[in-house]
Each structure stands twice: as structure tokens, then as C-alpha cells.
Amino acid sequence: MERHLVVKCQLLERDPRTIIKSWAGTLRSSSSKSPKIMESMKAELMSHISKETDYVIGSFPASSDRKTYEAFADAVRCLS
């Protein structure tokens, strides 16, 4: 766990193991026209999260289609 989180937990008298780590953000690789969309999403997610991340939330443009959401779900599933 990152050192700053451990220090903050000590200040708040909280067990660091109770922290739920998450990531939320917009993925650049969200174009469903890409033939390898899932692989590019997976690579991008890997650059943002660590093995301690409990969940991820992706933001997509309103124009995103079903294939984009399915690729995101597959990419996240591959990381767990």
C-alpha cells in the first residue's frame, strides 16, 4: 500500500487494510472501431491501477456503443 495512505490511516486511527482502493476516469482507448479495443483498454487500465485496486469505473462518451461497454467489462475481468 502507498506510504501516504498508511500515514493517513495512522493519523485517523484506522486500519489501512480497510481501505477500498478504486480508480475512476475516462479511457482514451474507448473507440469501438479499434479491432483490439479490449487489449488497448486493458493496457491503459494497467497503467492506472495496481494489484490492490478493488474496483474501476470507466467514463465513456454518450456516443459509445454496446461493444465499447462489453470491451471494458472484458478488460476489467482480465485484470482480476
pLDDT, tens digit, for every residue of 10-54? 999 999 888 888 999 988 766 667 778 889 999 999 998 988 888
Residue whose C-alpha is closest to residue 32's, from 4, 3, 54, 60? 60
CA pair distance 29, 53, nearest whole angstrom: 20
The distance from CA 25 to its chain's CA centroid, rounded to whole angstroms, is 8
pTM for the model = 0.72
